[in-house]
């Protein structure tokens, strides 16, 4: 069976990734891609890698009827247009932050409030490794934030297998590529300003903390840096367990959580050049790498995770979740393994 799909907000970086994935997906047919600024322009006008796609951007006010609508819009748009989206599609997958959190109070604290809070309890978080069983048949899906996704994937096995109880001290540092700022960017994203930097842009109070704390049930001290790469999010978490932890405990926890996961790989101090998770190794893919190292002298556990922020952290996660919701093979359209060697992602 083939499902029709549309992408609202198709000119952005994530919109382009959605179109790339859907164009190569055996079970999806792209019916529509919308853009206010590029209406009637070809898809290749914004995404040169998709010049072969015979489709033009259309007005987002004129939505066609489809099976699945992917909304790659800025925060605040989906909550205002959700009725239009649901009228146009049986399943809506939102890639903004509009439906990720559980309560209106969280949006009051971390964002600028929420205009449709009654829908929050009906949405499902898109990260399959965390929420697979609730995605089957879901009709409103919220793709996770890239920084939150990297952090959650790194720490989740420790909570699932009782290594952590939730009251431990956890400090997370994430380094992200320039594509996280979107196609619109801004002064800080221009090449002369961005090139060569390791720039703290959210030392405290990053909005993705809300997702991390919601789904792990634990507080984290979170800092984010902009670095000189295009794709990628690399999370390093410093964890201080209350009780001693062995490498056997850690291997048991991570294998227990991820051994059967199609898109998570354990990379924990093995041989070769890439001994720990590396964004460059997963660029362009829906894969995540996770790993760890013990620091017994400081009673510290260091956890590493790496994703492509536009794939596992956004478009790839959205397609993965949609596959599960519709009963499609969950790896369909997401099998690309990446390239090596490759330049800066």
Helix H or strand E encompassing 138: none
Residue 246 CA to residue 240 CA, distance in Å, equals 13
List, in sequence order, every beta strand (DSSP E) within 209-299. Answer: 221-227, 233-240, 264-266, 288-295
Domains 3-143+314-326 and 146-307 share a fold: no
Q: 90 and 325 in contact (C-beta within 8 Å)?
A: no
How many CB atoms lie under 10 A from the CB of residue 219? 14
pLDDT digits (tens, 9 = 90+) for 211-236: 999 999 999 999 999 999 999 999 99
**Residues 271-292 pLDDT 10s:** 899 999 999 999 999 999 999 9
Please check if 122 is assigned to a binding site: no
Residue 12, annotated ligand binder?
yes
- CATH class held by domain 146-307: alpha beta
> What digits encode the pLDDT tens for the residues 67-102?
999 999 999 999 999 999 999 999 999 999 999 999
Domain 3-143+314-326 has CATH 3.40.50.720: yes
- Per-residue model confidence (pLDDT) at position 89: 98
Active site residues: 146
The dihedral region occupied by 170, where left means phi > 0, alpha psi between -120 and 50, and beta the remainder, is beta
CA dist., res. 166 & res. 149, Å (int): 18
**pTM value surpassing 0.95:** yes
Q: Is 14 annotated as a binding residue?
A: yes
Three-state DSSP class for residue 314 = helix
Domain ranges of the chain: 3-143+314-326, 146-307
C-alpha to C-alpha distance for 56 and 256, rounded to whole angstroms: 46
User: Secondary structure of the chain: what % helix, strand, coil (to 5)?
Assistant: 35, 25, 40
| Token digits of residue 19 | 């179109």
């Amino acid at each position: 069976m083939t499902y029709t799909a549309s992408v609202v907000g198709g000119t952005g970086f994530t919109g382009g990734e959605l179109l790339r994935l859907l164009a190569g997906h055996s079970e999806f047919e792209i019916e529509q891609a919308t853009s206010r600024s590029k209406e009637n322009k070809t898809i290749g006008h914004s995404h040169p890698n998709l010049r072969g796609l015979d489709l033009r951007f259309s007005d987002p006010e004129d939505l066609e009827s489809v099976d699945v609508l992917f909304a790659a819009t800025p925060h605040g748009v989906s909550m205002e247009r959700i009725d239009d989206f649901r009228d146009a599609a049986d399943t809506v997958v939102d890639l903004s932050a509009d439906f990720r959190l559980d309560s209106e109070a969280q949006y009051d604290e971390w964002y600028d409030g929420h205009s449709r809070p009654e829908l929050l309890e009906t949405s499902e978080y898109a990260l399959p490794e965390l929420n697979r069983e609730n995605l089957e048949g879901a009709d409103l899906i919220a793709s996770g934030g890239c920084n939150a996704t990297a952090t959650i994937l790194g720490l989740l096995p420790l909570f699932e297998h009782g290594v952590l109880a939730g009251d431990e001290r956890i400090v997370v540092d994430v380094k992200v590529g320039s594509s996280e700022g979107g196609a619109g960017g801004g002064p800080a994203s221009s090449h002369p300003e961005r090139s060569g930097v390791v720039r703290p842009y959210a030392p405290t109070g990053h909005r993705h903390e809300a997702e991390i704390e919601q789904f792990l049930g634990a507080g984290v001290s979170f800092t984010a840096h902009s670095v000189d790469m295009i794709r990628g999010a690399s999370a390093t978490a410093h964890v201080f367990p209350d009780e001693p932890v062995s490498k056997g405990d850690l291997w048991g926890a991570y294998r227990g959580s991820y051994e059967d996961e199609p898109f998570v790989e354990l990379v924990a101090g093995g041989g070769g050049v890439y001994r720990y998770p590396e964004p460059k190794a997963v660029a362009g893919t829906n894969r995540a790498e996770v790993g760890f190292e013990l620091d017994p002298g400081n009673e510290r556990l260091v956890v590493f995770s790496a994703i492509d922020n536009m794939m596992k952290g956004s478009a790839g996660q959205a397609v993965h979740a949609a596959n599960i919701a519709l009963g499609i093979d969950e790896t369909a359209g997401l099998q690309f393994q990446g390239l090596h060697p490759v330049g800066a992602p």
